[in-house]
Each structure stands twice: as C-alpha cells, then as structure tokens.
Amino acid sequence: MKTVVLLSDARNPVSGRAQLSRLEAQAIGLAAELDESPQGLHVGPGEEGVSAGLGHGLCGLDVIEAPEGEDPLPALAAFLATSLKSDEPPALVLCGRRGEGGLDTGLVPYLLAEALGLPILADAVALRPGEASDTLVVDQAMAKGARRRVTIRLPAIVTVHPLAPPPLPFAFGRMRRGEIRRHAADVSEVPVDVDAGERPHRARPKLMRTAGTASGGANLHVGPDPEEAARLILAYLEDNGIRRYGQG
Amino acid sequence: MSRPRRDPRAERDNRTVESRGRTRLDFGRRETLPVSGRMRRDPWREWAASLAGETDGERKRYDRSQRQMNRAEAVRFARARETLDATDISPGQPALRVIDEPAFLVFAVVETAGGRLSRFDRQVLGAARLLADAGDGGGAVVAVAPESVEGLGEAGADRLLHLPRAATQRGRTAALKAAVDRLAPRHVLLAEEGDGADCARRLSVALGEPLFANVEHLTARQAVRAIRNRGAEIGLAPPRLMTLGEDRAKPYEAVPCEAREIEGGPATAPADPAILSVEIVPGDPAKLSLSETDFVVSAGNGVSDFAAFRDLAAAMKGTPGASRVVCDAGLMPRTAQVGASGTVLAADCYLALGISGAPQHLQGIAGCEHVIAVNTDLHAAMIERAGLAIVQDAQLVMPALLKLLQERET
C-alpha cells in the first residue's frame, strides 16, 4: 500500500540545526515494512535535515518550499488532497506524534485529519495489513506494556509512538540516490502566531515520587510465619490495586 | 491604640511549668497563632516519629523515605509530648468541603484505569483544584470519569460527571465535547499521556480552541510549557484547554470534597465508522523491560534458590529484577539489575526479597510508590523504606507465597 511519511522541521535542542526527528525515522521504518517505496513529504524552506530520511529508508521526498515560520498546514492539506484524488492515492499517512522544534503541540496530524476528512489513530508501535483489502491493523502503545490492536479502514492518518522499533540504519548512498521533488507553495501570508511571551526554557524539577499515604508508617512485622507473611504480601498488593490473583 | 497592652509578667507566669521538681519556662506553649498563621514545627514529635519500635522506643530509626508525617501518624505520636499543642493541624475544620453554587466549573478528565485513581489522575485533579480555587475561588472541580471510583472526593473533586466508556477515541471525544458545550467549563484539564493526550487534541480540533499541551508549571496566574524542542518556553494565563505533564502538579491533600454526581453526560457515545475492531492485548510482564513494567519482583543476596524465584516472579505476574550482588555473581542477567548502575525503575510497586538496600539500590527504586521488603535484618535500609516490611527469611517466604498463589488459582 502506498504510504506517505510527513517530515517536520525538527531542530537539535543544543545546536538548533535542522535534523531528522527520531520519531519520524521510526515512522519511516514502519512504512518500509508496508510499502516498497515509501515517500516523504516536507513543508519548509529546504530539505536540510529531512533529506536524512532518504538514507533511513525513504525512496522519494516531496519538498514544498515555503518560507520559514509559515504555517505548513494549508500546503500539506492541499498537496495531500490532490494526491488522494490522483490515480494512485496514498493509503496511509504516517507522522510523529509531536514536533521537535516548533510549537510542539502535536496538533498538526489532527488538524490535517479534520481538513482531509480522514480517520486518525495515535501512538502506533506496529503496523501490518489487515485481512480484508484496504484495512490496516495498528498496535497502539498503552500504559504498562499493554497494546491495543485496532483494525482501521484506509485511507487513514497514524501517528507513531517512541516505543516503535528503532529506525533503519542510515545509508549515505541511499540518501544520494533518493529523488527529491521540489514544489512551490502558494504563499498564504499568514504566519503562525508565535506567542509574544517566548523566553529561554528553564528546567523545572518534577515532583518527587514518594511513598503514598496508603503505605503508612508502621506496617512492620517481625518474625511472622512464612504463611502469614505470604498472606500479608498478597493482601497488600490487592489492597493497593497492584495485582489481582486468582481471577483468571 | 486598638492593640491591647502586653503584660510580660503575666505571660511569664503563664509559661512557667512544673517539671521534675523544679519550675521551668515552656517556650513551646502559645496562646495564639503566630502572626504568619502557620503552625509551629514540633521537633520533639518529629523525633519521636522516627523511633524504631513502638514498645521499646530506644533505638533511633532514620526514615529515608522522605515521607511527610501525615495526620494519622501525628495523632499516633501525640503521646510523645502531651503538653504541647503545636500539631493541632486545623482545629474546627469541617469534615467535608461543600461548594453548593459554583461560580464556574473546571473539568478534570481522569482515566481511572482498572477502576482506580492513578497517581497521574490525582495530579490532574489537584491541578484542577488549584485552578478552581484561583482568584476569588468558588469554582467547582468536575471529575469527568467513565465510572465512579473510590477516593474522588479526597482527590479534590466537587462533582462527578459520568461519561460512558466509549470503544473508540472519536466517540469519547464527541461525548466530552457535548458535556463541554452543555456545562461551559472555564478550564478543561487532561493528562498528557496515552488516551488523554489523544482526546485533548481531538477535542481541541472539534472545539476550534487552541491546546496548551504538556504544561510544565501551573499556578493560578500562569501556565508554562516548553516549545522548540525544550529550547524555549511560553507562559500564559491558564488557557481553557490544557494537558498536564506527569509529576508537574501536586495532588490535593486538604479537606475531602463531596464528589456529588451530576447529570449532563450523554447516555451513549457514537461509534467511529472507520474503526472495524478493537482488542486489548495485555502486556506480558516477563517480557517487559524493567523501565516499562509496573511491578518488579527482585532478588538479593538473601535468595539462594533462583529457580523458585523465577517461578515466583511468573506466578506473581511481575518482572524479575535483582540487586548488584546477584548480577555480579552471574545468577541473574545484567539487564535485570536494579539500581544506580542498572535500571532506575518507574514501577508502582517493588517486592524486595532478601535485599538489604544499599544507597545505590535505593536510588533505583526512588520512584516506586509501594515497596514490600522481606529481609532477616530488622535494621536494614530496605525495611525502613518499605510500606510493608516483613522481617523473615526470604527463602522461607518464597515457597509459602508460591503455595498460596497456587491455592488461589485453583
């Protein structure tokens, strides 16, 4: 199935240089399992940074040249809408779950799904084609290592979770062989409203995880029978909702 | 002058107490609260709380769990010095906080996975409580949950809104949007994790409202979030739609609220036509990595039968871990090592079998909320750290646990 991977304008947090986001590199790895020639799509001033995606497994890259700071959403929606109407429409659009270098809200895939009228699924860690044609089985990451296996009708937008398999190794020759197609964007003259209150980031400490109130102070048992100790341990686990035993 | 004139002699007489056959001045006694309004610390009582046994009380036991003395414990140790009235935390406090006519509403959307409030759920409710009490206060926190769970009132929820547990995220968002349209809350808070994060973004698109995602610092006046890959940040007055980062807001700990159920949620959530089937695949604890699991069963030098230990970890549905000594001896793989040079856990619960608790090991379990220790040494650091401490040989407790688990299974 034809797959398009959206590549964002990610920035290195230290140097500020353009780079390929790791999440998107993982998305390319997932796309390469479904599609022999996955394509990339990027809106921005140039392909610096995102061209590394070709080395990680993309076969072609569409770059819509838009000035820096421009909202990428109209250009993305217009390009994908035309390709969805073409003879060979993409079945799957993959993207990272958050940007790295812009406002980082993670809203672009959702706004794009709204604009194109496509269903969206978040936090994929594994993809495989469904039994029926035009379906896809997506494993979504959940807390505590659980997975939610969702069958979805294509075309769809899927965002990728950091627990997805690591990216394919980078190959320089592959990057040189990849085809980059440049397109001109209709300049909308509506820049993203950058908030005036932007200031350097200050790392703030997180709350310390300390023992909860449920585990009081004096729960100390000196020299109980082993059977009594086992009963106490299981009762503690069940009272605090860690595990339930003996219920299948 | 409206202030009454002080009488130093009367004050001195008032503070004079008889003790051990001679009079002395008790400077701990206060007639009125200090001007700051805060209660005095009582170091004597804190010292008494750190004693090891309740019967002998001779041996000092240093509490490294960094646990604040809560109200119940303070009462338990009240007999340490009965004449001192400094820890009457809040006399005349009502047993339940009731807000009848809320000036505005704050939605806190909680997941209640497994029918319980998680730590993150409590933090979201705490942040909502902070916003509801902002300014003049009078706001009410509405916990939006799929079911009624225990402890919502203690976590700070004034109202409870039932939202049906939808099969798909699209259905859940539609139901939430209907509730937001109907009740018009001032703020809607969600957790920046899993389904909460997904739901917040869908809601933001559906409402056409900007989302202030992954808030790192929240006060009544401003909310701060990182942008540009954590290179910069923006701070605004708390906007309407926010998601809170994990461990970024304190849970609510004051007087319980009422958590009264209100009407307003739709009865059923619409389905998503594009989703054909949904199936939950539970995680296998034996295959999970130590940093991802929620329950670790760990062995130390007090364990010698490792076949039984592996059976026990599997039967308890926990991920096996080990201390450095055991990994150095080659009895468990290096990937199972817990501690500063192994894995720093994010698990909820840790069962330490025969581990005394070296400082490097305790660093690795600093994030665990519940710790169970089985050890032969009463004065081991792990026994002090544990929420349930059992002074017994781990080699004897392991077969007893296995036997009890097998009885439960049948």
Does residue A203 lie in a domain region? Answer: no
Residue B39 has pLDDT above 50, yes or no: yes
If one compares A214 and A43, the residue with the highest pLDDT of the two is A43
pLDDT at A146: 86
A141 and A243, same domain (yes or no): no
Query: In terms of Cα–Cα distance, which of A81, A66, A74 is closest to A4?
Result: A81
H helix or E strand, kind and range, residue B280: strand B275-281
Q: How far is CA B231 from CA A22, A167, A201, B66, in A?
A: 17, 25, 5, 32
Q: Within chain B, which residue ranges are assigned CATH 3.40.50.620?
A: 105-262
Query: In terms of Cα–Cα distance, which of B272, B276, B318 is closest to B298?
Result: B318
Reported confidence tier of residue B98, pLDDT bands at 50, 70, 90: confident
Burial of B83: CB neighbours in 10 Å, binned 0-12, 13-18, 19+: exposed
Probe site for chain A from B276, B287, B353, B384 (most A CB atoms < 10 A): B276
Q: How far is CA A22 from CA A100, A121, A178, B26, in A?
A: 9, 19, 19, 65
Tokens standing for residue B282: 């539970």
Rounding to the nearest 10 degrees, give the CA dihedral for residues B260, B263, B268, B272: -90
Contact B316 A119 (CB under 8 A): no
Instruction: Please determine, for the modelled complex, whether the ipTM score is greater than 0.95.
Output: no
A224 and A129, same domain (yes or no): no
For domain B295-409, say whether CATH 3.40.50.1820 is its number.
no
Query: In terms of Cα–Cα distance, which of B145, B150, B180 is closest to B163?
Result: B145
Residue A213 has pLDDT above 50, yes or no: no
pLDDT at A243: 84
CB B319 within 8 A of CB B350: no
Query: In terms of Cα–Cα distance, which of B94, B106, B96 is closest to B130?
Result: B106
pLDDT at B63: 53
If one compares B27 and B71, the residue with the highest pLDDT of the two is B27
Rounded CA separation B91/B89 (Å): 6
CB B319 within 8 A of CB B290: yes
Spacing of C-alpha A75 from chain mean position: 20
CB A58 within 8 A of CB A178: yes
Q: How far is CA A198 from CA A9, A16, A102, in A?
A: 19, 16, 12
Mean of pLDDT over chain B: 84
Question: For chain B, how far is it from start to end, CA to CA, in angstroms?
Answer: 81
Contact B388 A215 (CB under 8 A): yes
Q: What is the DSSP letter of B336?
A: G
pLDDT at A215: 43
pLDDT at B369: 83
A59 and A16, same domain (yes or no): yes
Residue B65 has pLDDT above 60, yes or no: no
A238 and A137, same domain (yes or no): no
User: Considering all CA atoms of chain B, what is the largest pairwise distance in Å, rounded to the nearest integer?
Assistant: 86
CB B385 within 8 A of CB B359: no
The CATH code that applies to domain B105-262 is 3.40.50.620
pLDDT at B61: 59
A20 and A140, same domain (yes or no): yes
Rounded CA separation B210/B204 (Å): 6
Tokens standing for residue B192: 């920046």
Candidates B226, B367, B401; nearest CB to A230: B401
Does residue A204 lie in a domain region? Answer: no
For residue A28, the domain's CATH number is: 3.40.50.620
pLDDT at B59: 59
Tokens standing for residue B50: 């750190």
Number of Cβ within a 10 Å radius of residue A168: 17
Does residue A208 lie in a domain region? Answer: no
Look at chain A and report how many structural domains it folds into: 2
Q: Strands A156-160 and B16-19, how do they pair?
A: unpaired
Task: Give the gap in angstroms from C-alpha B6 to the nearest C-alpha of chain A.
Answer: 43
Rounded CA separation A48/A36 (Å): 24
Condensed to tens digits (0 to 9), the pLDDT of residues B283-324 reads 888 888 888 888 999 999 999 999 999 999 999 999 999 999
Contact A207 B250 (CB under 8 A): yes
Rounded CA separation B220/B240 (Å): 13
* B 321-350 near A (Cβ less than 8 A): 348-349
Instruction: Check the CA dihedral A214-A219-A224-A226 and report its sign.
Output: positive
Q: How far is CA A143 from CA A161, B244, B368, in A?
A: 12, 17, 16
Condensed to tens digits (0 to 9), the pLDDT of residues B338-392 reads 999 998 888 889 999 999 999 999 989 988 888 999 999 988 889 888 889 999 9
Does residue A189 lie in a domain region? Answer: no
Size of interface A-B (CB pairs under 8 A): 262
A179 and A218, same domain (yes or no): no
Q: How many residues does chain B have?
A: 410
A125 and A244, same domain (yes or no): no
A46 and A145, same domain (yes or no): yes
Could you tell me which chain B residue has the CA closest to the CA of A236? B388
Contacts of B397 in chain A (CB under 8 A): 226, 229-230, 233
Residue B78 has pLDDT above 60, yes or no: no
Residue B45 has pLDDT above 80, yes or no: no
SS3 B262: strand
Q: Which of A48-52, A207-211, B39-43, B285-289 has the highest mean pLDDT?
A: A48-52
A67 and A137, same domain (yes or no): yes
Contact A145 B73 (CB under 8 A): no
Does residue A104 lie in a domain region? Answer: yes
Q: Which of A17-31, A75-89, A215-229, B84-98 bottoms out in mean pLDDT, i.e. has the lowest?
A: B84-98
A133 and A222, same domain (yes or no): no
Candidates B114, B233, B372; nearest CB to A201: B233
Provide Rg for chain A, Cα atoms. 23
Contacts of A226 in chain B (CB under 8 A): 392-393, 396-397, 399-400
A177 and A225, same domain (yes or no): no
Q: Strands B212-218 and B187-191, how do they pair?
A: unpaired
Q: Within chain B, which residue ranges are assigned CATH 3.40.50.1220?
A: 295-409
Contact A245 B408 (CB under 8 A): yes
* A 112-151 near B (Cβ less than 8 A): 113-114, 119-120, 122-123, 130, 135, 139, 141-151
pLDDT at B60: 61
CB B90 within 8 A of CB B82: no
Q: How are the residues of chain B apportioned to helix, strand and coil, as percentages rounded to the nearest 5?
A: 30, 20, 50
DSSP string, B345-379: P--SEEEEES----HHHHHHTTT-SEEEEEES-TT
CB B142 within 8 A of CB B185: yes
Give the structural domain span for A244: 213-248
Q: Which residues contact A204 (CB under 8 A, 6 or more apart)?
A: B216, B217, B224, B248
